[in-house]
Structure 1
Amino acid sequence: MDLPLATSLIDGAPDRAQHGHRLEVIDPATELPLCELEEADAPAVDRAVRSARRAFSGWSRMGTDQRNDILYAIHDRLIAEAEPLAELEARTTGLPIRTLAGLVRRAAINFRSFAEVASTLSGESYSQNPDYLTYVTREPKGVAALISPWNAPLALSSMRIATCIAFGNTCVLKPSEYTPQSVLRMVELMHEAGLPDGVVNVVNGRGGVTGAALVDHAEIDMVGFTGGTATGRHIMAAAGRRLKPSIMELGGKSAAIVCADADFERALDGTLAGIYASNGQQCLGSSRILVDRRIADRFIAEFVRRTKAMRIGSPVDPTTEMGPLAFKAHHDRVLSYLDVAASDGAEVLCGGGRPEGLDKGWYMEPIAVLAKDNASRVCQDEIFGPFASFLIFDTLDQAIEIANASDFGLVAYAWTSDLGAAMRCSREIRAGTIWINTPMMRELRAPFGGFKDSGTGRDGATSSADFFTELKTTSIALRDVALPQFGAAAKE
């Protein structure tokens, strides 16, 4: 049968590559093809970048209030189409529809929030020197190459787009080749809401083909990437060759510290959500769970009981708590860590099998292991799946030391009723975000990003403004100040 075709979207219209390679996009729940993706080649990428460059002139000069009217309209359009968008993303990614209700709303809110941020930007003025007035303004930086991942396409693509265009820039977005459909539909809806052609263009394809051509294009002024650390290093190196500034939200291996004085039930709920939400496929998941020895037996036993009771099934079933993993290669990689755990001397507590009654699809029972120590690969590698690794600690000093003993530093969690312990975790754990007694709360006004191998730069109100705008200083003479007169003597 003929499959739908996911093409690029350039200058507000579908764009066909001259020699576009075709890739099948597979439904992770059925293993059947959902559509074909036509890969954007270098000429298609060039068309997209040039479209964004043409649009930059008008979009960047548009008044902030006028741009914001469009961003607010995009918010309203995405909210109105939330249900079909969520279902489309569920079928592409395997994410449970119950999870996507919040993620689609988050995608819409990104546009509203950064419109509000753009409205609050102000300049600076300096009049200390009586002969001059100096003022500082912000200007849009230009055309951005934006690359988003497959694990939460709408939420993460919209964050990249909103933080870019709210300040007057234009962009070319490359979503993952595994999950193109929901992002493509989102950008279509943005145009229906009044976004001018060329402000946001989409090129579909693999990183080594489409992504490489995009990052290396001479007309790209900056690069924003969300994804794995190894890919981030490659992209940042490529951008650096042309001195293009980059913002990178990369991997994580985050620790969740559960103290003996924590609210037991809330800590249990929070750590389960921290690792198994979104099928475990999230960079900010609490994949290392550090439990105080005094409560470890009880906590781990109850965690395992609840894990075994999770509802695994079709992502479009509203009762499903965990769906299939996004694609076969990733499913197989996550499962391979059961062998790694065994070689590390870890105890497998549960999971790893195929759920009963689900003969097709990249499903797995969620996994929990008790690691031998923090040096184990299951505690150091970013597995990026429903794979929880437990470690036991005796003192808070030891827990903080374990939390910091990682190449990553994206987020960390602490569950405690002791204010002093909470503040110590906040002060001493080297991660970009610390969540105390809560899982995964995102304050869009605050900076978000990582230490160490978890990335460079931050998303957030002032952080995004700093990245996506250039500061310009203008000095005006207030009187005829004395000037040197080079060559004046030659007239005499």
Structure 2
Amino acid sequence: MGDAVAAARGAFPAWAGMGTDRRNDILYAICDTLTAHADELAEMEVRTTGLPISGVRPLARRAAHNFRAFAEVASTLSGESYSQAENYMTYVTREPKGVGALIAPWNAPLALGSMRIATCIAFGNTCVLKPSEYTPLSMFRMVELMHEAGLPDGVVNLVNGRGHVSGEAMVSHPDIDMIGFTGGSETGRRIMATAGANLKPAILELGGKSAAIVCADADLDQALDGALLGIYSNNGQQCLAGSRILVQRSIADRFIADFVARAKAIRIGDPMAASTQIGPLAFAAHRDRVLSFVDVATQDGAELLTGGGRPDGFDKGFYIDPIAVLAPSNAARICQEEVFGPFATFVIFDEVEDAIRIANDSAFGLVAYVWTGSVTTAMRCSKGIRAGTIWINTPMMRELRAPFGGFRESGIGRDGARSSADFFTEMKTTSIPIEPLKLNRLGV
């Protein structure tokens, strides 16, 4: 760890001092190189995550685009000037903060790891990156390709290892200037405690238990498609999952029946096959944890609607049938705890205000989905729901220019154009007198 941090510290002055246009040429080259190798990277990611190749290919292309997007953000940063104080001109500049400790998750290593790197190095910082011990291969190849594209040695340094060993060593290292973490809320708490003890800033994108609200006036065919994508895409292993599906009572029976029928028809199989819609979960302990919530749900009085076991024909691999349950109320543990798998939980509501209240009755606040034909309802939900991102009549999408992050236990800080610039740079104020000053002469 010491060598990696030392390499990042050693490379910092030259990378930070490089002109933005020259640095951006390297970032653009990284984008082009990763794009050319997107299929290779996607296949490596599938082999460690079990995610269907059809979903990983777009994520690999997004990983490449992150470098271009934040190069463009860096090229548009401007300073400030103030002349209100008599006889003074004051101007404000941004400078790179230093060396970042970046920790990437196992559920979407390329997309989320590249976001951490791009937002850090685009503004002139260097970093040490740790991928998950479960999914290191695609990250290793991505960093290798970045150097092939012309990234100077020491700007991005990859270390492997378990979180409580390598990760702890990273975030507690005295030569680390800031910490970027994407992962679970419990790990986030430990990282934040260490960062606080060392007075180091941290940006944390953590877990979620997001509500997907389906109103009676919605386009129900689109809402059904969106709800299924919201919980079952990426094998359900995503912090953005719409895992609590809140359905208005007048349409609940029909909507839930249609959802369950579609869930039973999802194509489970080899994640390398283009037709596969759900592959195996990432590792055995995680599969067992997801399945344990079936018992948790039924003990709380929830009704198991589908799934909960190993699909027929799969004797190997960490496969499970997509799960859906109907909860007696939002107080059930299955509505409050993040499962992080293909596990949908239905809650029925009567009025829109009830849905907003239920959506907010959570320790988390990452995103929310709202399906409605009413602009008024959409605006009421947008204003009332305590979450960092509200998606209206759409499954998950990402506007990289806009802030992204969560309320409460879903994280601290935001990614995005201005938000990332604020975190990864320091602002410096310089004041200069316009004319020579007449100073008091102490001691004369």
Residues 1:350 and 2:302 aligned together: no
- Where structure 2 has 5 or more consecutive residues not aligned to the other structure, the ranges are none
Residues 1:440 and 2:418 aligned together: no
Deviation string, structure 1 residues 9-35 (Cα, Å, up to 9, x no partner)? xxxxxxxxxxxxxxxxxxxxxxxxxxx
Q: Which amino acid aligns with 1:468?
A: F
Residues 1:450 and 2:402 aligned together: no
Match of 1:26 in 2: none
TM-fit CA distance, 1:487: 1.1
Once the two structures are superposed, the pairs formed by residues 203-214 of structure 1 within 5 Å of their partners are 203-214=159-170
Match of 1:479 in 2: 435
Corresponding residue to 1:224 among 180, 205, 213:
180
Residues 1:408 and 2:388 aligned together: no
TM-fit CA distance, 1:401: 0.3
Deviation string, structure 1 residues 349-380 (Cα, Å, up to 9, x no partner)? 00011111111000000000000100000000
Match of 1:189 in 2: 145
Q: Which amino acid aligns with 1:143?
A: V
**Counterparts of 2:345 and 2:235 in 1: how far apart (Å)?**
15
**Partner secondary structure for residue 347 of structure 2:** strand
Once the two structures are superposed, the pairs formed by residues 348-427 of structure 1 within 5 Å of their partners are 348-427=304-383
Match of 1:134 in 2: 90
Residues 1:245 and 2:201 aligned together: yes
Match of 2:112 in 1: 156
**Counterparts of 2:380 and 2:259 in 1: how far apart (Å)?**
26
Match of 2:100 in 1: 144
Deviation string, structure 1 residues 428-472 (Cα, Å, up to 9, x no partner)? 000000000001110000000000000000000000000000000
**Partner secondary structure for residue 158 of structure 1:** helix
Match of 2:28 in 1: 72
**Counterparts of 2:165 and 2:320 in 1: how far apart (Å)?**
31
What TM-score, normalized by structure 2, do the two folds share? 1.00
**Partner secondary structure for residue 205 of structure 1:** coil
**Counterparts of 1:146 and 1:486 in 2: how far apart (Å)?**
50
Once the two structures are superposed, the pairs formed by residues 260-409 of structure 1 within 5 Å of their partners are 260-409=216-365
Deviation string, structure 1 residues 42-72 (Cα, Å, up to 9, x no partner)? xxx0000000001001000000000100111
Match of 1:56 in 2: 12
Corresponding residue to 2:43 among 83, 87, 94:
87
**Counterparts of 1:214 and 1:129 in 2: how far apart (Å)?**
44
Deviation string, structure 1 residues 102-138 (Cα, Å, up to 9, x no partner)? 1001101100000000010000011122411110000
**Counterparts of 2:27 and 2:274 in 1: how far apart (Å)?**
30
Match of 2:423 in 1: 467
**Partner secondary structure for residue 448 of structure 1:** coil
**Counterparts of 1:344 and 1:84 in 2: how far apart (Å)?**
45
Q: Which amino acid aligns with 1:449?
A: G
TM-fit CA distance, 1:243: 0.2
Match of 1:215 in 2: 171
TM-fit CA distance, 1:481: 1.4
Q: Which amino acid aligns with 2:170?
A: L
Residues 1:116 and 2:108 aligned together: no
Match of 1:107 in 2: 63
**Counterparts of 2:36 and 2:308 in 1: how far apart (Å)?**
39
**Counterparts of 1:322 and 1:276 in 2: how far apart (Å)?**
7
Q: Which amino acid aligns with 1:314?
A: D
**Partner secondary structure for residue 289 of structure 1:** strand
**Counterparts of 1:377 and 1:220 in 2: how far apart (Å)?**
38
- Where structure 1 has 5 or more consecutive residues not aligned to the other structure, the ranges are 1-44
**Counterparts of 1:370 and 1:49 in 2: how far apart (Å)?**
49
Q: Which amino acid aligns with 2:254?
A: R
**Counterparts of 2:329 and 2:84 in 1: how far apart (Å)?**
60
**Partner secondary structure for residue 189 of structure 2:** helix
RMSD: 0.5
Deviation string, structure 1 residues 230-275 (Cα, Å, up to 9, x no partner)? 0000001001111000000000000000000000110000000000
**Counterparts of 1:51 and 1:483 in 2: how far apart (Å)?**
46
**Partner secondary structure for residue 370 of structure 2:** strand
Q: Percent identity?
A: 71
Match of 1:201 in 2: 157
TM-fit CA distance, 1:148: 0.8
Match of 1:30 in 2: none
Q: Which amino acid aligns with 1:245?
A: P
**Counterparts of 2:276 and 2:307 in 1: how far apart (Å)?**
17
**Partner secondary structure for residue 253 of structure 1:** coil
**Counterparts of 1:129 and 1:211 in 2: how far apart (Å)?**
47
**Counterparts of 1:254 and 1:425 in 2: how far apart (Å)?**
13
Q: Which amino acid aligns with 1:127?
A: S
Q: Which amino acid aligns with 1:481?
A: L
**Counterparts of 1:243 and 1:90 in 2: how far apart (Å)?**
38
**Partner secondary structure for residue 166 of structure 2:** helix
